[in-house]
Chain A
Amino acid sequence: RKEVEQDPGPFNVPEGATVAFNCTYSNSASQSFFWYRQDCRKEPKLLMSVYSSGNEDGRFTAQLNRASQYISLLIRDSKLSDSATYLCVVNMGGYNKLIFGAGTRLAVHP
Chain B
Amino acid sequence: GAVVSQHPSRVICKSGTSVKIECRSLDFQATTMFWYRQFPKKSLMLMATSNEGSKATYEQGVEKDKFLINHASLTLSTLTVTSAHPEDSSFYICSAPLPEGQRVEQFFGPGTRLTVL
Contacts and interface: CB of A to CB of B under 8 A. Distances in A.
A102 B42 contact: yes
Contacts, number: 47
Nearest to A103: B43
Contact size range, B: 20 to 34
Interface stretch (B13-21, B68-76, B79-87, B106-114): B106-114
B49 interface: yes
Contact of B43 (A43, A95, A102): A102
B111 A46 contact: no
A41 B90 CA distance: 11
A59 interface: no
A95 B110 contact: no
Contact of A97 (B34, B103, B113): B34
B25 interface: no
Contact of B105 (A41, A46, A103): A46
B6 to A, nearest CB: 9
Interface of B: 32, 34, 36, 42-46, 49, 57, 91, 93, 95, 97, 103-106, 108-111, 113
Interface of A: 32, 41-46, 49, 87, 91, 95-103
